[in-house]
Structures are given as C-alpha cells and as structure tokens.
Structure 1
Amino acid sequence: MAAPLGWDVEPEPEDPRTVSLRFGVRPVRLVVASDRATIAPDGWTLLQQTRAQFGVESVRGVGLDHVVFVSPFNESHPFNESHPFNESHPFNESHPAEGGYRPMSTYGIPGSGGRQPVAYVGPPPRRRKAAALPGRRPVVALLDTGCAPHPWLDDVVQTDVTLDGHSIGFDDPATDPDLHGDLVGDLDGMIDPLSGHGTFIAGIVHQACPDADILSWRIVPSAGPIAESDWIVALSQIAELVRRDRAGEAGGRRIDVLSLSLGYYHETPEDLLFDPTLYAILADLSANGTVVVCSAGNDATSRPSFPAAFAPWADGSGPVPVEAARPPIVSVGATNPNGCSDALFSNAGPWVRAYVPGAAVMSTMPAFQGGLLPVARTHAFGRLRESIDPDDFRGGFGVWSGTSFAAPLLAGAIAARLLETAQDDEDLATVIGRAWACVAELTDITP
C-alpha cells in the first residue's frame, strides 16, 4: 500500500537488547520512494489504508508507537497519565489552555496536593534483618524515572540490574531525571514535571513494605512522555529476567510485584490489534508468578487506559478474561487523604479494580533545589530566616498527588502480604496461588 502513495517502507534493525529474546519490536521507517513530488509520508495514513483494503486482521501486531504517559499530578502524570501534579502543569489553574477554573486542577496546587517539600519528623521505616523475617524478602520492581540516593533507600533499592550485560532502560547519568532536577525547558531552574517521580515511588513502596527489596530502572524522561517501543524493550528484558529465575537459569532475577505508573489510550478500536504485543509480555510475567500493578491515570475519565485496562473488568466486558492459572493485572485508582472518597482526578470505571490513597501522599524526594525562591529572606541574631522555598527538597521529603502513587502503594501492600509466607524454592503453583490470595484480599478481583 505504500508504493501507490509514493512511499517506501524500510525495516530498521531491532534493538540489540531484544534480538535474542522472546519479545520485542521491529521498527520500520516510512520514506519517500522517489524524487517526484508526493505527500509527506504518514504512518497513520498507511496503516488505515492497509486496514481498509486488506482487513484489520492483516496487520495484527502492527501499529504506531503509542505515546505513553506517567501518572503523578504534574505535566507527566499524577494529573496526567505521565506526570505528577505540579503548578507547571496544564492541569493547573494558571494554564491558559484550561479555559478557566477546573476543580481537578486544585490537586496541582502546593497545599492542595501539588508537589511541594515537607518536613518528615518521624523515624524511618523499620527494616528487619533477614534472620528476623517470617519468609524471604519480597522483590518489587519499578520502571519509571529511576531512583536517586536517599538515606531511606540506599540499602534497599538496586538500580544497576542488567540482562546479559545490556542495560535495561536508560543509563546515561547526564540525563537522569532523579539526579538532575532541571534537564529540559526554559533556563529558569524550574524542576521538570517528572523529576523525582521514581524516587517518590520507591519511597512509597518502602513505607508500605520496609522489608522488601526494590529494583528500579529508568525509562521515563524528566518531562515525559515515552515511546511505547522503548517501554516494550525494557519490559521484554524484565520478563526474561523473571523467566530465567523461574527456570533456574543463570542471569535471572525474582520479581514478585512489578509496579507501572504509566499508560496510554487507544486512538481507535483497531489499536486493540497491537495490544497483544504488550499484553503478551505482561501475561508472561504473570504466568511466572509476578503480580503486575498499574496506575489507572489522572484524567478523570472512564476511557480505558492501558495497561491498567488489561485488568479483569468488573462487568466482564474487558479484553482479558480472568485466568486462575496466573494472577491478574491489577488496576489502581486513587483516593483522597480522608480515605472516604475517590480523588477527583482518578480515572474510574469497571476496569479499575482497587482504590488506595494517591492524593497528597508523603514520600522520599531527591535533594533538589529548584529555581524558585522564598518570598522573603533575612537574618536575625546570626541565623538565616526565610519563608518556605516551594521547590527546595533538600530535606528529602515531599508531597505529591496522582494514581502514579496509588499503584506503588498497592504493590507494597501486596509485597507485605507475600512476606508473611513466601519462601525460597517454591513451585510455580504455590507462588501463583499465594499471589492470587494477596490480590483477592486487597482488591475485588477473585479467581
């Protein structure tokens, strides 16, 4: 179908990290076929033309890269699918694109759930020695913006796990959102929308299950969003780590729970034809005993967001049925701090199967000091006096809102339940049975 339009389709090399794996994506590039004038190459037009002439089944597994968003309230999810809620987010009152006041935008305002520093004065979560545990340490994996050094997390989070020497996700320190708060945008020192997101998520898991080990990989840039193909490459590698561990092969790693705070929406119903590419990877993880927990998104809509909508739908109408042979994907929405009401920003519908706190949550933050300044600063009696600096996180803690943070909270709760009975060298049936029991206890999903 490309030739009549004056285009050529050129296969590109597969990412070397997935060449020998069971899952991956083979990209192609659309180019002008000759020197004659023609319309600009357009992948969407070609895909639609092919579907119309040969039927949608002819291109099953073929699709455009989805734009995948994160879930905090900022430009990249809690109040967007991919960003935490910050003042700089279009979901804020100060954004002209909003066209006026929106109640949902209040979650982006510091003091109402937007990203802001706080002083935590309690003790750190109590992490027991391995000999004092009732079972083995559960492992929770995160695929997000990475994780910065932090006193709570330095001995808990591992960020350098690779597969056959290949990095998983991005590994250039110069582009690490949780090491460098301001990587993109104006030269104003403002902290990027998603910077610190992964560190914040890791702190939530640690609070929910202090005895869990955490694996963290970086796939989300500081301003989001990401290309689905990059995400699938990383997930393919993670699935291989889990498969090898289950098979007793070298180079594997156990993962009990995988928390994903990102997602995308379908442009058309035919997008379902590409979903098997992503779902097959997540189903493989589940089949090897990993519980996959996904944030529902922050757009206050019932429109299904994937991969969260791969969860079994309460009304039975979803794309994936319940299978007792593997734990289900778990979709998570957010509640307000009162615990009595759902957050106004949280997506909802029969595909959202659990709700936990996700608005105005406290957790760990990198030691950022952004470009904003206190309203007032002076000295008295030899001491510095100033009002609160709204983006000075050197105290190590902050408040943030979004379903991005509900997902790791539930993931940590599942890990805490697994800790009570999980042992080494268990057969797969026992692992899956226990995973199902934890999911059934904490959600309304049953086998």
Structure 2
Amino acid sequence: MSQPDGPARTLNPLSPLIRLLRLPWRLRRPDLSQVRPTDPGRIDREKARVQARVIRDAFKGEIAAAGPEDRAVKDDADIRFFYRPGHALVQAERLEEVMEWFRGRGEDFRGEPERVEDPVADHLVVLRLPSRRDRGDDVLATVTELNDFFGRSDEDETPPVAAPDHLVYVTTLKPGFCPATEPEVPRSRRPWPPQQPDPIPAPDAKDKVRVAVVDTGLWMDAIDSAASPWLESDDVFADSTDEEHVNSAAIHPYAGHGTFVAGVISCLAPETRIEVEGALTLGGAIWESRIVRQLDEALGDNDHPQLISISAGTHTFGNLPALSFAMLGVKYRLAERDDVLVIAAAGNDASDDEFWPAAFPWAVSVGSVDPDKKVSDFSNYGKHWVKVYARGRNLVNAFPIGTYTCHEPPHAGVVRKFDGLAQWSGTSFSAPVVTGLVAAEMRASKTSPRAAWQAVEATAIDEHDARIHEDIRIVGPLT
C-alpha cells in the first residue's frame, strides 16, 4: 500500500474484495411514532431493530441472523449475530474428511459443497453448502452436525472443524451498541483524551511505532485541519481505496468511526504512524473471512503493523471462538509473538458472553468504564475474558463536517450539525485509548508491543464493580 510523498507503508494492499464494499448505501427508517421516549425497554429494542436494518439494507438482504440458543429470529431486536447464508468455514486440513462426510450423507442434501474462495490464512476454506432436504438451516444445522460428528464439544478448547462465516460489525445487535450512542455535538472544542505533547526529540520516521486501525476508513478532510490538528498527514494516512467519502448534507451512520479512533490514538501517542484501513464500509460490517484475509495480508508484510486496533467484533454460533480469527492466530503464533499485538473492543451489549476477536487469549480485550470508575452500562464484561477497562464514555475527537440526522430512538429525526469534532461513547473508543497508551510506552521505552502492554497493564487501578459483581482493572485517564 503506497502513498505518494508520504510515510512508508505499513500494510500490504488489501484484497480486491474490499473494493466491492463501498458506500453509499441507503437506510430505510422505521416508524417510531409508537415508541415512547419514557419507555427504555421499548426504545432499546427499537434501537436494535434500527441498527439491524442498517446492516440488512447494506447487504441488500443477502444475510442471515440467529438469536437466543442460535435459532432463527422473528424479531430483529433478538439477534445475537449475523452470518453468511449458504456458506461455511472449514479447517483446510480437515477438508477431505468433511467432503467425505457429505458424500456419505448424499440423501440428506441437494448436491455437494463447492469450494468458492482461495484459502483464508492458509488454514481455512470457504464452502458453499448444498441445501438440506429436511428444511433445516443450511448453515447452522449442517455446522452443528459436522462438529458433532468430528467430536467437537462445548468443553473442547480447540477450534471447531466448521463454523458459520459470521459478520464482524462496529455495532452490536442488542441494546447498548458499539458505538453505544450516536455521535453528539461536543460541549468542548478540545479532544478527550487530551492531546499529549510531542516527544522530544521526535523519533525518526523509521523508528515510529506502526499502528493499523481496522475500521470504516479515513475521512481525509480531518487531516491537518484546524479542528483536529493532532491528525497530521506525516503520521495518519490511508490508501486511496480506504478513504471514507461523506455527504456533508447527510452524514451516513457510522461515518467517521475510523477517523475518530485514529484521533484517539494520535492524541495519546503523537509521532505514531497510523494507517486506517477501510474494511468495515458496508453498514459498518464485513464477513469474518474477509476481514481475516486482509489481516493475513497485513501480518505477512515485512513491515507489518506492530499494533492492530480493532473496534469491531461479533458474538458467535455456540459462543465458540470465531474460526477465521482462530486460524489467523495459529498461523502467526499471535499468543507467542512479541512483535505484534491485537487490541480489540469488548463490545457493547452489557453481556458477559465472549465477543470475538477480543475474547481470544492473544488479544487485549478492552471494556469501558465511566469517569467514576464504574463499568459503563453498555459495556460487555467478564473476568474470564475482558483483560482491562478504559474510559469509553463521552470521548471527543475528529468527525466529519456536516449534518447528521439521528435514526435511533429516542432522538430519531433530530438533526445535529458537526464542525469537525464529535462526542461519542462505546468500547469502540476505549480500545484505542489502550492502543494509544501502549504505543506511547513503546516509543518511550523502545520496547516491544508485548512488553509495552505489560508495562501499561502494571499501571492498572484495581476496583470492584458491585453492579457486575466483579473486580476490574482500569488503565488510562478518566477525567
């Protein structure tokens, strides 16, 4: 990936698939006339329906959804995860066994599976599944039977043989959301967290920490602007195909998400090379296999990013580890390496269910706390998988200039005008706080990503949160 007259690249060119995931897309607004502003339960469920509709519209209906107990849903307010209809992910080394299983079950299916894409991270193949004669779900029922046959149990910690191709998204599908709020007009013209002074002496270009922000792309007008001078063209950039295009008269949902995340990192770790990747451009979402394909290309580069910040994820079928990310971790030994670290948002549905990729042991999973050190009411939590918390409530950073019309209750229809900054909440933004802290520590101590993370973790404040009945660890500024 190149940028004329700019900093040296950090990532390889992305898969051509990303070229298909371009905005704009249209959002059909539901009728919210019957939703009472004083009815939080109904508002939360309607918000879930609205956000689900954003994704459904973006994917033009070519998408499937599952709810509680991994069953089909009648109401989008009950969705746990989206998945790719008619397709499954299978471990490459078990492919022949899987194909033999289908041949032995020929009477149960209308045809045989078809391999449709090149391997993902060398260890994973994408299969188009035949339809089932029993009218069961082509993906969920078939994946269940495959894993049962090959001996995968809920207690087994190894990756499953087969899995749905989940949708990874910047917004969760239960009340709470990531972002937890729609962007708001800030009360201050200053960023939060505050902009830190440039290091003295400034590091040489070759010595700068390399960060990849895998998100919605970069709104280029924020770079070197008076509203966000911390986003400097020498350090924050994107390939032309990763630029985010915004209609100032009608800013689309999730616009500026990647720009905001990059701004948080830049404020905490100036003189850091931040490349923003436009992976989540279709309704703020992308298939799991496709985002992992892009990460595979990035990690395979000799000049690979040292820190990868991901403010997106998904719940999964059976709460099992997301198979694409699991295979990526195997290929690159992410649990063992010191030279690369993934930092990921824990998600925002106020749940202790694992959210992937944050829940992998090799990732630094970040939940959100409020300035009073309490876990934010939207944040996912869980002592068994959320490693650390940082403030994710009411951060202020770069946002497109223009008019945004709220589409979620209770503010649906409210018009907000932005002039380069926004206030936003969610674990989407607590994750880059940690990324910025680690990048700053790497620069100051001239140490590896893993060692820098351990140094940041050592600064954590220990608190007990009575609401979730857990002890938590908090890093970074709070007020």
TM class, shorter-length: 0.5 to 0.7
Structure-2 residue corresponding to 1:49: 145
Q: Following the alignment from structure 2 to structure 1, what is the Cα–Cα distance between the partners of residues 315 and 399?
A: 29
Change (3 A) 1:237 1:79: farther
2:135 is the alignment partner of 1:65: no
Question: Higher strand proportion, which one?
Answer: 2
Cα gap change, 1:349 to 1:129, in 2 (>3 Å): closer
Q: TM-score, normalised by structure 2?
A: 0.61
The structure 2 residue matched to 1:297, chosen from 347, 357, 381, is: 347
Shift in alpha-carbon separation, 1:354–1:181, aligned structure 2, 3 A: farther
Q: Shift of residue 180 of structure 1? A: 2.2
Match of 2:381 in 1: 348
Compare 397-406 and 203-212 and name the one that shifted more.
203-212
Q: Residue 146 of structure 2 contacts residue 161 of structure 2 at CA under 8 Å; is this kept in 1?
A: no
What is the alpha-carbon distance in structure 1 between the residues aligned to residue 388 and residue 159 of structure 2? 34
State the Cα distance separating 1:292 from its structure 2 match.
Answer: 1.4
Residue 30 (structure 2) pairs with residue 30 (structure 1): no
Judging changes above 3 Å, is the alpha-carbon distance between structure 1 residues 371 and 193 closer, same or farther for their aligned structure 2 residues?
Answer: closer
* 2:103 counterpart of 1:6: no
1:84 aligns with 2:179: yes
Q: Which amino acid letter does the alignment assign opposite residue 157 of structure 1?
A: V
Cα deviation for residue 69 of structure 1 reads 2.3
The answer on 1:415 being equivalent to 2:439 is yes
Contact 1:23 1:236 in 2 (8 A): no
The answer to whether the Cα contact below 8 Å between 1:137 and 1:212 also exists between their aligned partners in 2 is yes
Q: Is the 8 A contact 2:211 2:308 kept in 1?
A: yes
The number of residues matched between the two structures is: 336
Alignment of 1:273-288 (within 5 A): 276-280=326-330, 283-284=333-334, 287-288=337-338
Contact 2:403–2:416 (Cα < 8 Å) also in 1: yes
Q: TM-score, normalised on structure 1?
A: 0.65
The 10-residue stretch of structure 1 (129-138 or 211-220) with the greater mean CA deviation from structure 2: 129-138
CA deviation map 1:380-436 (0-9, x unaligned): xxxxxxxxx84322x10000110000000110011111111217xxxxxx6654453
- Structure 1 contact 140–412 (Cα < 8 Å) conserved: no
Separation (CA, whole Å) in 1 of partners of 2:187 and 2:179: 20
Q: Which amino acid aligns with 1:79?
A: G
C-alpha distance 6-143 of structure 1, shift in aligned 2 (>3 A):
same
Superposed CA RMSD: 3.5
In structure 2, give the amino acid aligned to 1:179.
Answer: H
Distance 1:410 1:32 in 2: 45
Residue by residue over 1:58-115, the C-alpha shift from the partner in whole angstroms, topping out at 9 and shown as x without a partner, is: 99442110122215xxx789932xx423xxxxxxxxxxxxxxxxxxxxxx3xxxxx41
Unaligned runs of 5+ in 1: 86-107, 109-113, 161-170, 183-188, 245-251, 312-327, 373-388, 424-429
- Percent identity, please: 25
Pairing 1:143–2:214 present: yes
Instruction: Name the SS for the 2:264 alignment partner.
Output: helix
Does structure 1 conserve the Cα–Cα contact (< 8 Å) formed by 2:173 and 2:349? no
Deviation at 1:270, TM superposition (A): 5.3
Cα distance change of structure 1 residues 146 and 38 upon mapping to structure 2, 3 Å threshold:
same
Q: Does the 8 A contact of 1:127 with 1:211 survive in 2?
A: no
Aligned in 2, Cα 1:181/1:349: closer, same or farther, shift over 3 Å? farther
Give the Cα–Cα distance (whole angstroms) in 2 for the partners of residues 203 and 54 of structure 1.
46
Letter in 1 for 2:417: D
Taking a change above 3 Å as real, the CA distance of residues 209 and 275 of structure 1, as seen in their structure-2 partners, is: closer
Aligned to 2:237: 158
SS in 1 for 2:125: coil
Aligned partners of 2:300 and 2:364: how far apart in 1?
Answer: 21
How far has the Cα of 1:272 moved from its partner?
A: 6.7
Partner residue in 1 for 2:28? none
**1:438 to 1:291, Cα distance in 2 relative to 1, 3 A:** farther
Distance 1:79 1:222, change over 3 A: farther
**What is the distance in 1 between the residues matched to 2:268 and 2:173?**
24
Partner deviation per Cα, 1:311-347 (whole Å, 9 max, x = no partner): 3xxxxxxxxxxxxxxxx521111111x2432211111
* 1:115 matches 2:133: no
> How is 1:178-189 mapped onto 2 (pairs within 5 angstroms)?
178-180=244-246
Q: Tell me which amino acid in the other structure corresponds to 2:416.
A: D
Aligned residue for 1:368, secondary structure, equals strand
- The 5 A counterparts of 1:253-292 are 253=304, 255-268=305-318, 276-280=326-330, 283-284=333-334, 287-292=337-342
